[in-house]
Amino acid sequence: MALLDRINGPADVKALAPEQLAPLAQEVRDFLIDAVSRTGGHLGPNLGVVELTIAIHRVFDSPRDAVIFDTGHQSYVHKLLTGRHDFSALRAKGGLSGYPSRAESEHDIVENSHASTSLSWAHGVAKGRAIAGGKTRHTVAVIGDGALTGGMAWEALNNIAAEKQLPLVLIVNDNERSYAPTIGGLAEHLATLRTTQGYESFLEWGKTTLRRTPVVGMPMERALHGIKKGIKDVVAPQGLFEDLGLKYIGPVDGHDPLALEAALTRAKNFGGPVIVHVITQKGRGYEPARQDEADQFHAVGVINSETGLPFEIAGRSWTDEFSDEMVALGAERPDLVAVTAAMMIPVGLGDFAKHYPGRIIDVGIAEQHAVTMASGLAYAGLHPVVAVYATFLNRAFDQVLMDAALHRAGMTIVLDRAGITGPDGASHHGMWDMAICGAVPGLRLAAPRDGAAIRTALREAVEVSDAPTVIRFPKGSVAAPLTSLRQEGSLDVMADHTDGGDIEQLIVAVGSMVPTAITVADKLAAEGRRVLVVDSRWVIPVAPDLVTLCARASRVAVIEDGLEVGGIGSQLSTALRANDIDVPVRTFGVPRAFLDHASRGQVLEVIGLTPDTVANALI
């Protein structure tokens, strides 16, 4: 019987003999490569934390001890060791989540989180238990070196350092990468730690030397203090953490089971906050994930497990269209600079970086800093394009509002993965962006319907120098070109079933929902309705031409893949009331709810954003 088959919880992990740990780690890696290649998911991060996760469950007592994973995409090993072996529907409807999930297990604490939050969670859990009298229960946070670039992590460290008695173990999983190689001063500091002999070993050398050859006329304690002072800055760059008052252990080989257990046991017994610095290899044990293009194995689709290659090429993506146009604009405009938050390749800035290496800025996992820094770039006379996933704009709302918009910064924010994204679940749907942006004075937002519209919108956006602009588009293959029938002012007429008569039903289509709107119009026309479909492209603020057109319609429907509450439909209703236009507006969008993981099509069906559902509601 395979070792992994016998693991149904942490007690089974603890019961293993030391010589069984390496075989278990190999079985876990074999399982992950086979399972994730069939379903898609986060492969590289999980292959790197196999021994570390095993050691955590041997030293600590989950769920009595809380184990918190930053971001959570590296929790597959944790799922296996806590009895969840059915990965056949990973990230699919009804299957395991790709992140920790309280609905799945008592061993999961933090759900689909964004990065850099684990230390704040850990501080809160540990502090809360201490107040409630549970000081003997440990709290363990696993944070990657990439996530440690986020400002929230350092806010947490600042507070944790003052908690001298809290039983907190903070594991820095240092693999030199987030999506891509970790950058910045912290990355350089950790690199120094990786290549520097430990401070404690030098200290032991000092003690031994003093015992053998005492310093004449100087007490041992004073002499030892001098040695500490003299060598600390030279051989102990962990002083960055220790100067905060945090005990540091490491660096530890993250693939040595016994070394990991020894380090974690020391940390557990310390009695206060401890940082354990663990060196791991992302993609460990799978050659395709260790090669030059390893970043693509952070998250994969369905692949051939032997070669690492995808079975299907999906064709051009929305991201590809943005990427190509950025390169073209870069040649025309030397003032154009690109900014990203540790996701250069996923958001399509890799080619821009190759063509214009001096005009690309990766700030690490720090969306707040990215937006405010870009505001500074705009003040300096450049036009920055900040490219992030739509879900991560949530983190920088204050900066968009108070730093970019208030200061009328000429900058463009490009939101990839907008709307319903699917398998990554509640935290990764890009469904809040239009509601958020709708509250920002002066901001303009475009929702392109196809690749050509992305290119046009980007060119229009970078011409705006007195306000922030936003362009949003979804995940996946780009829509087929959708040519408008004609222009009505600034509006593109996409379908017209009015025969030149009155508009019984006006449908306002937003971005990727244009094809849905056209199909809805066809269905309504088949029922004898006079229907007109328009795409305004720039949806925030509401175009005056759209307000005028609505006044000619008997009814208006808005179809959008953002929140119904505060979305484009709400914006349009407000604009009509402000112009004393009494036309009923019905919005079809995303409900105010956290949506479970499933395919994009399945989620759209659940929330009623399909042609049949919308058409039936309008008949």
**What would the pLDDT profile of 404-448 be if each residue is shown by its tens digit?**
999 999 999 999 999 998 888 888 899 999 999 999 999 999 999
Q: Which residue has the higher pLDDT, 181 or 474?
A: 474
DSSP, residue by residue, 450-463: SHHHHHHHHHHHTT
367 annotated ligand-binding residue: yes
Question: What gap in Å lies between CA 210 and CA 205, rounded to an integer?
Answer: 9
Q: Which of 310, 425, 287 lies closest to 38, judged by CA?
A: 310
Q: Which residue has the higher pLDDT, 217 or 6?
A: 6
Q: Which residue has the higher pLDDT, 3 or 209?
A: 3
Q: Model's pTM, two decimal places?
A: 0.82
Could you tell me if residue 82 is inside a domain? yes
Q: What is the model's pLDDT at position 195?
A: 52
263 annotated ligand-binding residue: no
Could you tell me if residue 306 is inside a domain? no
115 annotated ligand-binding residue: yes
Q: What is the model's pLDDT at position 202?
A: 47
pLDDT one-digit tens code per residue, 497-509? 999 889 999 999 9
Q: What is the model's pLDDT at position 288?
A: 67
- Give the lowest-confidence range in 209-218, 479-488, 609-618: 209-218
**Mean pLDDT confidence for 284-290:** 69
Q: Which of 52, 44, 6 lies closest to 25, judged by CA?
A: 52
317 annotated ligand-binding residue: no
Could you tell me if residue 299 is inside a domain? no
Could you tell me if residue 483 is inside a domain? no
Could you tell me if residue 308 is inside a domain? no
Q: Would you say residue 314 has pLDDT above 70? A: no
- Residues of the chain with pLDDT > 90: what percent? 64
Q: Would you say residue 284 has pLDDT above 80? A: yes
545 annotated ligand-binding residue: no
CB atoms within 10 A of CB 526: 11
Using CA atoms, how far residue 539 sits from 138, 149, 390, in Å, is 50, 34, 16
Structural domain including 211 reads: 197-236
**Mean pLDDT confidence for 14-28:** 94
Q: What is the model's pLDDT at position 237?
A: 43
One domain for residues 466 and 575: no
One domain for residues 44 and 179: yes
**Mean pLDDT confidence for 111-116:** 81
pLDDT category, 150, cuts 50, 70, 90?
confident
175 annotated ligand-binding residue: yes
pLDDT category, 151, cuts 50, 70, 90?
confident
3-class SS at 440?
coil
Question: Which of 442, 472, 502 corresponds to the end of one domain?
Answer: 472
CATH of the domain at 595: 3.40.50.920
One domain for residues 246 and 108: yes
Using CA atoms, how far residue 118 sits from 141, 152, 165, in Å, is 6, 9, 19
pLDDT category, 21, cuts 50, 70, 90?
very high
Question: Which of 209, 236, 263 corresponds to the end of one domain?
Answer: 236
- Are 122 and 170 within 8 A, CB to CB? yes
Question: Which of 443, 472, 501 corresponds to the end of one domain?
Answer: 472
Q: Which residue has the higher pLDDT, 57 or 296?
A: 57
355 annotated ligand-binding residue: no
Question: What gap in Å lies between CA 112 and CA 118, rounded to an integer?
Answer: 11
3-class SS at 563?
strand
3-state secondary structure 40-58: CECCHHHHHCHHHHHHHHH
One domain for residues 549 and 534: yes
Q: What is the model's pLDDT at position 232?
A: 42
73 annotated ligand-binding residue: yes
Number of domain units in the chain: 4
Residue ranges of alpha helices (H) inside 335-412 are: 350-355, 367-379, 390-393, 397-398
Q: What is the model's pLDDT at position 455?
A: 97
Q: What is the model's pLDDT at position 210?
A: 52
Strand partners, 170: 141, 275
Q: Would you say residue 563 has pLDDT above 90? A: yes
Q: Would you say residue 89 has pLDDT above 60? A: yes
114 annotated ligand-binding residue: yes
pLDDT category, 234, cuts 50, 70, 90?
very low
Q: What is the model's pLDDT at position 174?
A: 87
Q: What is the model's pLDDT at position 117?
A: 87
**DSSP annotation of 528:** T
pLDDT category, 53, cuts 50, 70, 90?
very high
Q: What is the model's pLDDT at position 292?
A: 46
One domain for residues 116 and 37: yes
Q: Would you say residue 313 has pLDDT above 70? A: no
- Are 282 and 47 within 8 A, CB to CB? yes
**Mean pLDDT confidence for 323-347:** 96
pLDDT one-digit tens code per residue, 530-547? 999 999 999 999 999 999
One domain for residues 69 and 150: yes
Q: What is the model's pLDDT at position 42?
A: 83
One domain for residues 46 and 98: yes
269 annotated ligand-binding residue: no
Residue ranges of alpha helices (H) inside 167-219 are: 185-195, 199-212
Write down the mean pLDDT value for the chain: 87
- Give the lowest-confidence range in 159-163, 201-205, 295-299, 608-612: 201-205
Q: Which residue has the higher pLDDT, 312 or 268?
A: 268
- Give the lowest-confidence range in 30-44, 211-225, 596-610: 211-225
CATH of the domain at 458: 3.40.50.970
State the catalytic residues. Answer: 282, 367, 395
**Mean pLDDT confidence for 445-471:** 97
Q: What is the model's pLDDT at position 298?
A: 59
User: Residues near 524 by Cβ (< 8 Å), separated by ≥ 6?
Assistant: 497, 505, 531, 615, 618, 619
CB atoms within 10 A of CB 369: 18
Q: Which of 238, 224, 237 lies closest to 274, judged by CA?
A: 238
Q: What is the model's pLDDT at position 230?
A: 44
Could you tell me if residue 141 is inside a domain? yes
Q: Would you call the peptide bond into 541 cis, given omega within 30 degrees of 0 as the criterion?
A: yes
One domain for residues 254 and 227: no
One domain for residues 171 and 251: yes
**DSSP annotation of 485:** S
Q: What is the model's pLDDT at position 250?
A: 84
One domain for residues 203 and 262: no
Q: Would you say residue 101 has pLDDT above 50? A: yes
One domain for residues 226 and 246: no
- Are 428 and 417 within 8 A, CB to CB? yes
Could you tell me if residue 479 is inside a domain? no
Q: Which residue has the higher pLDDT, 364 or 140?
A: 140
Q: What is the model's pLDDT at position 79?
A: 93
Could you tell me if residue 301 is inside a domain? no
Q: What is the model's pLDDT at position 566?
A: 94
Q: What is the model's pLDDT at position 231?
A: 42
Q: What angle do CA 410, 416, 417 make, to 5 degrees?
A: 150
One domain for residues 93 and 165: yes
**Mean pLDDT confidence for 330-334:** 97
Give one word for 610, left, alpha or beta, with left for phi > 0 and alpha for psi -120 to 50. beta
